[in-house]
Structure 1
Amino acid sequence: MKLAILQTYFWCSCSIFANVLFLLNRRFTYRIFIKVKNLMEMWKSQMVLVQVLLMLCVFRLYFQSGPIYHLEPQKTLPEMGLQAPADRLVVFLLEGLRADVFFSQNCSRFSYFRDLLLREGLVGISKSSVPTLTRSAEVALFAGFNQMPPVLPTGKFDSIFNRTSASDRGMVQRFSDLSDLRVSLESSACVKSMQNATRLLMVVYVDNFGGANPQDFNYKKNLHNTQRNIRDAYEMIESTFDDKRTAYLFTSAHGLTNLGSYGSGSDEERDTPFFLWGAGVNGKPENITSNYSISHGVIVQLHKLAQIQFAPLMSALIGLPPPVHNLAKLPLGYMKVSREYERKATHLNALQLLTQTKAIIRRHELGVFHKWLPKFNDLDLQRIAFYQNQMNHLLDNGWRSRAMQTSVLAIKVAQKSLKFYYTYYHIPLIVTTVLALLGSQIYLLMKLSRHSTDSKIQPRGFLTWSTVLLVSLGISLGELVFLQWAPISTIICLLVPFGIWSLAMAEVPQSGCWVFKPLKHLQLIVAPAASIIMALCYSYPFGLVYLLCVLCLKSSAYVLSLCRNHSTVFLRFPVWYWTLDD
């Protein structure tokens, strides 16, 4: 009885407290609501919101929605009975060093690395991801996939850092610069803890080149000093551990243009050099990409890798499986290990990709309409389950070369399957982006035509058959895609054109022939819009066409600004009236 009275008193107190808070904040909440309502009634606010949604659609076209979570990692190679070729991995990560600067003048600027290059090094060009940012490069290098832009965070994902920390007596050390590394190596307590670690990953960030011109004298001077300091740090690490069990990677997160900028997708920004040497590195692999000549006619092999391929390669060097969200194939021939070690490392890569494929296929089959939708026919759940049985059969019969070929084939098929499902809504998103772009321009033309001719003409509003039909179609499509378990960002992008065209139809005047005036001005819209869409597939030529269209329209706007006092100009070109006066 007392407990019931106490519970009643507690709930009454909470109710009174909630009502008091609501009464105190009601006026404040009402003011915020009114301000937001007034702000959204302004044209510029509406168009800013439309542009944000269009940018979200473009981001969704270029980047996948995000990795699949709750995936189980594979076994480590030591757990499979094989010793890793390296106990430590040191990564020197620069920022702003591009490939042509690294290889210019026959690598004369990297004289401190030339003996390592000739003796045991592996050098080449890695293709970084877009956008060319340090954060994106870290995800590509240590997680094995291309992340969405930082403005649209991917969330938690697996990486070499997680795998190293989760292993028995594994340790991860990050150093902000080379001096920080030197201080740690001079500390006996820090060195002792690193020596006791069975697996050690050290990442040294070197960002002395950010914002500089690669052709500038100070840039070249800083580059020369940095590579000398990296060579000194390498010798200090070797003398500290003195066991020849350390692998090294020297690479850049991204390059710089001649103006010192980065972040886009030009070859100068995406082509970055890499130099791999140390324990477990095969300095002369059989799969030669091309030859490169350095001083005195000495020829070295120049290799080309995707930046995401370093994740499975670095993992295999220290005996780890690839990160669970890795999308890259382990490059073969780059490790100085036994055939059995390379075969099992490739097998782990295949299992990791197949596990990811199995998860995304299962998520696709959770959808209500998956039986009637397209699917990847070369790989399904039954074939994924058959892979392990087939590998066991081949190994039991001693056919190890065929087992290696089977793993390589499984990796290729799994990559194709993942690409198919990650880009599953690519074509519908292109269509909706085009419709949203044209709808926003139609909305502007309808609004501006009405205001530039006669302000007494009233729009039809939202209670018309066209707007009700559009809203109904949008809601139905959203429900269908939601029942198919599509990502939230994909659902939003597919619904954007329905909302924009509903606004456009609501601006149709109640009387008059409204169709011809907007269509008359579509000549100012179709060419730039088509150029934007075609630039998604053919960036350079159609990007140039779009630039020419913009320049022509801007020049027309300048001419119209000289005649802004003539009302006939506003009647013929209402879009420029909004551009100049709103």
Structure 2
Amino acid sequence: MITFFLVGLTVHVVFFLSIFDIYFTSPLVHGMTPLATSLPPPASRLVLMWLMDSGSIIESRGTWGVSHTRVPTESRPGHVALIAGFYEDVSAVAKGWKENPVEFDSVFNESRHTWSWGSPDILPMFAKGATGDHVYTHTYPAAEEDFASTDASRLDSWVFNQVNSFFESAKKDSSLNATLREDKNVFFLHLLGLDTNGHAHRPMSQEYLNNIGLVDAGVSELVSMIEDFFGNDGKTAYVFTSDHGMTNWGSHGAGHPSETLTPLVVWGAGVNSPVTVAEPQAFNDGFLKDWDLEQIRRVDVSQADIAPLMASLIGVNFPINSVGVLPLQYLNNSNHFKAESMYANAIQVLEQYKVKMIQKKETTISLLFTPYQ
């Protein structure tokens, strides 16, 4: 009986520990060579924004689709998938989705410069993982993030006001002005007001709808300001998306379609214009008719695919940990550029496999190690 008890206890301890070894050990590998296409990119700069109502842009200027997220539909995993191109392992939850359990590469890190405005919970993690001093964050105090707030749209107003002040100051600061006019730059606006109002008042509340109007007007003014600052040079690409959705009762984190289906609208330099379709589009989620967008081609992606798309638009290296696949239908460029970009994307993903294979081979008994064909 004692032997049986000890064997049973050992088996259960091994099973228990295996959960941490499997799920709380990061699968990320390092040591890969960053890759990008050598051809000139279509955009010099990229503006990444969270949340707005983009109907007019979809109909007249860009390409749109649904970005499919993965569980957990929380802020940090969504941002990591979008900006770094991989789905963060569950070990990050041990850090409360706040700190980087393992350092990782991102589009921000590969950029020449990135300026970001918004939440103190999100922005610092991409600056912390960056090499050198080229990712700049501007955040409001953490106390401002009050999910019981009467109206959280002030968070989004803060972001727009700060960005406006930033570009106004650049007109008087020759050094900053010159830096902004370099290529491979990224501007990131993290608009938390809608998320906060959704939690506090629910997505169909008047507070939420008013916040949509505020953000829509703010983005319109922002685009006009940026185009004017750069002399309408046609070298700015814009990406609008969201890290996750939300249920009608103001929650997220699980796998309901309202939480996992998020908008993606891309326009500007290097991006295809809207394509009118004659045949019904093969999407069975039932939303096209409600959105009144059945006539405009919808290009869906996995959330991690947005990172290589952004990298391709401004010509930076694909993040080395990215597993995203470049969504070609968003690109307005030559077949040569698309082919080179596809090739670099494929080799970048393959490099991770090669490094992982070497690591496994070094830690596995040779007789038990069988490479994939």
For each residue in 1:279-315, what CA deviation from the matched residue of structure 2 results, as whole angstroms up to 9, or x when unmatched?
A: 1001246997659468999821122111100011110
For each residue in 1:421-480, what CA deviation from the matched residue of structure 2 results, as whole angstroms up to 9, or x when unmatched?
A: xxxxxxxxxxxxxxxxxxxxxxxxxxxxxxxxxxxxxxxxxxxxxxxxxxxxxxxxxxxx
Ranges in structure 2 where 5+ consecutive residues have no aligned partner? 1-11, 95-99, 119-158
- CA-CA distance at 1:58 after TM superposition: 7.5
Aligned twin of 1:226: 215
Q: What is the one-letter code of the residue matched to 1:181?
A: V
Q: What is the one-letter code of the residue matched to 1:196?
A: R
In 2: Cα distance, 1:89 partner to 1:68 partner: 28
In 2: Cα distance, 1:373 partner to 1:334 partner: 41
Q: TM-score scaled by structure 1?
A: 0.48
Which of these residues, 148, 151, 159, is aligned with residue 106 of structure 2? 159
Aligned twin of 1:558: none
Q: What is the one-letter code of the residue matched to 2:298?
A: L
Does residue 135 of structure 1 match 2:97?
no
Aligned twin of 1:91: 48
Q: Structure 2 vs 1, CA of residues 301 and 319 (structure 1 numbering), >3 Å: closer, same or farther?
A: same
**Contact in 2 for aligned 1:364/1:370 (Cα 8 Å):** no
Q: Which has the higher helix share?
A: 1
Does residue 363 of structure 1 match 2:338?
no
Question: SS of the residue aligned with 1:301?
Answer: coil
**Contact in 1 for aligned 2:42/2:313 (Cα 8 Å):** yes
Aligned twin of 1:69: 30
Q: What is the one-letter code of the residue matched to 1:257?
A: T
**Contact in 1 for aligned 2:85/2:324 (Cα 8 Å):** yes
Q: What is the one-letter code of the residue matched to 1:204?
A: L
Q: What is the one-letter code of the residue matched to 2:110?
A: R
Q: TM-score scaled by structure 2?
A: 0.73
Query: Which moved further from structure 2: 344-353 or 144-153?
Result: 144-153
Aligned twin of 1:181: 163
Taking only aligned residues, the RMSD between alpha carbons, in angstroms, comes to 2.9
Aligned twin of 1:307: 303
1:421-570 equivalence runs, <5 A: none
In 2: Cα distance, 1:175 partner to 1:342 partner: 32
For each residue in 1:32-71, what CA deviation from the matched residue of structure 2 results, as whole angstroms up to 9, or x when unmatched?
A: xxxxxxxxxxxxxxxxxx99x959828945x873310122
Q: Structure 2 vs 1, CA of residues 353 and 295 (structure 1 numbering), >3 Å: closer, same or farther?
A: closer
In 1: Cα distance, 2:60 partner to 2:67 partner: 21
**Which has the higher relative contact order, 1 or 2, with Cα contacts under 8 A spaced 6 or more apart?**
2
Ranges in structure 1 where 5+ consecutive residues have no aligned partner? 1-49, 95-101, 103-109, 165-169, 378-582
In 2: Cα distance, 1:297 partner to 1:347 partner: 33
Question: SS of the residue aligned with 1:269?
Answer: helix
Q: Structure 2 vs 1, CA of residues 312 and 289 (structure 1 numbering), >3 Å: closer, same or farther?
A: farther
Q: What is the one-letter code of the residue matched to 1:142?
A: I
Aligned twin of 1:268: 258
In 2: Cα distance, 1:73 partner to 1:237 partner: 30
In 2: Cα distance, 1:207 partner to 1:326 partner: 25
Question: SS of the residue aligned with 2:299?
Answer: strand
- CA-CA distance at 1:72 after TM superposition: 1.6
- CA-CA distance at 1:277 after TM superposition: 0.7
**Contact in 2 for aligned 1:122/1:275 (Cα 8 Å):** yes
Q: What is the one-letter code of the residue matched to 2:57?
A: L
In 2: Cα distance, 1:371 partner to 1:262 partner: 46
Question: SS of the residue aligned with 1:147?
Answer: coil
Does residue 344 of structure 1 match 2:340?
yes
Q: What is the one-letter code of the residue matched to 1:304?
A: D
In 1: Cα distance, 2:305 partner to 2:64 partner: 14
**Contact in 2 for aligned 1:289/1:302 (Cα 8 Å):** no
Q: Structure 2 vs 1, CA of residues 297 and 281 (structure 1 numbering), >3 Å: closer, same or farther?
A: closer
**Contact in 2 for aligned 1:90/1:203 (Cα 8 Å):** yes
Q: What is the one-letter code of the residue matched to 1:66?
A: P
Q: Structure 2 vs 1, CA of residues 350 and 243 (structure 1 numbering), >3 Å: closer, same or farther?
A: same
Question: SS of the residue aligned with 1:124?
Answer: strand
In 1: Cα distance, 2:265 partner to 2:276 partner: 17
**Contact in 2 for aligned 1:90/1:202 (Cα 8 Å):** yes
Larger Rg: 1
Does residue 236 of structure 1 match 2:222?
no
Aligned twin of 1:203: 188
